[in-house]
Amino acid sequence: MAISVFDLFKIGIGPSSSHTVGPMRAAYDFVQALREDGLLERVARIEVKLFGSLSATGKGHATDRAVIMGLMGERPDRIDPAIVAPCIEELLEASTLMLDGRLAIPFLWSRDMQWHDECLPYHPNAMTLVAHGHAETLWSNTYYSIGGGFVIDEAQAERGELDQDNTVLPYDFNSAAELMALCRMHDMRISELMLENEKAWRSEQEVRDGLWQIWQAMQACVQRGLEQEGILPGGLNVKRRAASLHRRLLATRDDQSLIASTFGAMDWVNVFALAVNEENAAGGRMVTAPTNGAAGIIPAVLHYYMKFQPGACERDVVDFLLAAAAVGILCKKNASISGAEVGCQGEVGSACAMAAAGLAEVMGGSVAQVENAAEIGLEHNLGLTCDPVGGLVQVPCIERNAIASVKAINAAQMSLRGDGEHFISLDKAIRTMRDTGRDMQDKYKETSRGGLAVNAIEC
């Protein structure tokens, strides 16, 4: 299975890659299948059935709205977030769905949007879409949103495929040990090897341009987050903090003490992460990195580097994201980046490891030091549960990204102060994440039925 850097870093919409981006993409694909089979004009009714984690936290993650927008012909990478609320309001008032954006069919929310507690066999994030004609069922398919916006359908799940891409890569790797061996054999840095693999899909210039576009989207998200104030939607009355913290940072006079400089650096990292995840919680334009729930970590660490490292340039952005993606690929192949599958260790833990690797790469770390940085970042997130209060990607998710961003920087720093030799390998940490996720009770895996999600509620 070949995974591109652009599979892990995708422009989308908040608040969740698995619960918003994936379902929207699945619904869009369902409409395209109807069109290709010549069935679209015959559709008289659509049923949406959400299962497992998509049902448990779907309302807080806007899964229902995302599916509707996908059925209306919208894609997560192209949709204007501002149109979602008015489109849903219009549908609810008229009980009419504009299928593919042009075909009006009845849609009764209480009847056609269905929530099921049961989990389907292949993944906790499951949804079934059914298209009915006037007297018969025209087409039905089940989709699994397997994390980071990746989607497979029923047939792919039965074959054991994971959003399959069979592109032959010049330097394919399935473990960190293989990745490091290839780098040493061919005298390459991790970012250089990743760039050669990416050229199996597109030219070097297209890779560089595409990653620069991803970085611009990350910057735009941070900037919006630094400007917006008020209360986040959803009912928890969580106040945005990034804008006010940013103003205080800009107004702070220089203090030469060690503790002040340390606090100041952490403040900048925190504000970058908070800005991204507050935008995500508000349903804004996002870059999955590798998921939406953990989308603030890589942008925060990269912003930190670009702001404070003298001579930082566009090439550094590309190298950072390529090295980070190598670690994300390993996490996805050998464990999971889905909170519904392995808990938040798969989202925040993977993102922390990716950011640590990216930073170590651009700071001149050896292949062994980059692997060590990723391992430290992941190891100290093992066992992290996914227990969003109210099913919203707000508490503890927003602060958790800020904490993990600082942790990623510390992981890179520790690795760069060493020689790359360490006790636990990245491969062992990833396997441990996989095994821990399997042992973790379902109530701690993005269902909001355990942990902070229930203890935060006053009885």
| Residue 204 placed within a domain | yes
Q: String of b and e for 198-215 (b: at least 16 CB within 10 Å)?
A: beebeeeeebbebbeebb
Residue ending a domain, choose from 124, 158, 192: 158
Judgement on whether residues 242 and 315 belong to the same structural domain of the protein: yes
Judgement on whether residues 373 and 415 belong to the same structural domain of the protein: yes
Judgement on whether residues 137 and 227 belong to the same structural domain of the protein: no
Give the H/E segment covering residue 142: strand 137-147
- pLDDT, the chain, mean: 95
Q: Percentage of residues in the chain with pLDDT exceeding 90?
A: 92
| Residue 328 placed within a domain | yes
Judgement on whether residues 119 and 194 belong to the same structural domain of the protein: no
What residues make up the domain containing 151? 17-158
Total number of domains constituting the chain: 2
pLDDT at 214 over 90: yes
pLDDT at 458 over 60: no
How large is the average pLDDT for residues 347-365? 98
Write phi, then psi, for 131 (nearest 5 degrees): -105, 120
Judgement on whether residues 138 and 185 belong to the same structural domain of the protein: no
| Residue 164 placed within a domain | no
pLDDT in tens, 3-13: 999 999 999 99
How large is the average pLDDT for residues 397-408? 98
pLDDT in tens, 18-58: 999 999 999 999 999 999 999 999 999 999 999 999 999 99
DSSP codes, 285-339: EEEESS-STTTTHHHHHHHHHHHHSTT--HHHHHHHHHHHHHHHHHHHHHS-S-H
pLDDT in tens, 88-129: 999 999 999 999 999 999 999 999 999 999 999 999 999 999
- H helix intervals, 201-257: 204-227, 242-251
| Residue 271 placed within a domain | yes
| Residue 251 placed within a domain | yes
Count CA within 13 A, CB hemisphere, residue 104.
5
pLDDT band at 459 (very low <50, low <70, confident <90, very high): very low
3 state SS of 254: coil
pLDDT for 164 equals 65
Judgement on whether residues 153 and 214 belong to the same structural domain of the protein: no
pLDDT at 79 over 50: yes
| Length of the chain counted residue by residue | 459
pLDDT at 217 over 50: yes
| Residue 1 placed within a domain | no
CA-wise closest residue to 53 among 452, 395, 445 = 445
Judgement on whether residues 272 and 317 belong to the same structural domain of the protein: yes
Judgement on whether residues 154 and 185 belong to the same structural domain of the protein: no
Judgement on whether residues 53 and 200 belong to the same structural domain of the protein: no
| Residue 147 placed within a domain | yes
Cis before 396? omega within 30 = yes
pLDDT at 162 over 80: no
pLDDT at 184 over 60: yes
CATH number of the CATH domain containing 74: 3.30.1330.90
pLDDT at 165 over 90: no
Give the least confident one: 234-238, 250-254, 388-392. Answer: 250-254
Judgement on whether residues 136 and 247 belong to the same structural domain of the protein: no
How large is the average pLDDT for residues 137-149? 95
Judgement on whether residues 292 and 414 belong to the same structural domain of the protein: yes
pLDDT in tens, 262-307: 888 999 999 999 999 999 999 999 999 999 999 999 999 999 999 9
Rounded CA-CA distance 69/75 in Å is: 8
* CB under 8 A, 24+ apart: contacts of 136-144: 138/34, 138/39, 138/42, 138/43, 139/30, 139/33, 139/34, 139/37, 139/39, 141/30, 141/33, 143/22, 143/23, 143/26, 143/29, 143/30, 144/120
pLDDT for 437 equals 97
| Residue 171 placed within a domain | no
How large is the average pLDDT for residues 214-240? 97
pLDDT in tens, 333-351: 999 999 999 999 999 999 9
pLDDT for 280 equals 97
pLDDT band at 258 (very low <50, low <70, confident <90, very high): confident
Judgement on whether residues 238 and 382 belong to the same structural domain of the protein: yes
pLDDT for 163 equals 55
pLDDT at 81 over 50: yes
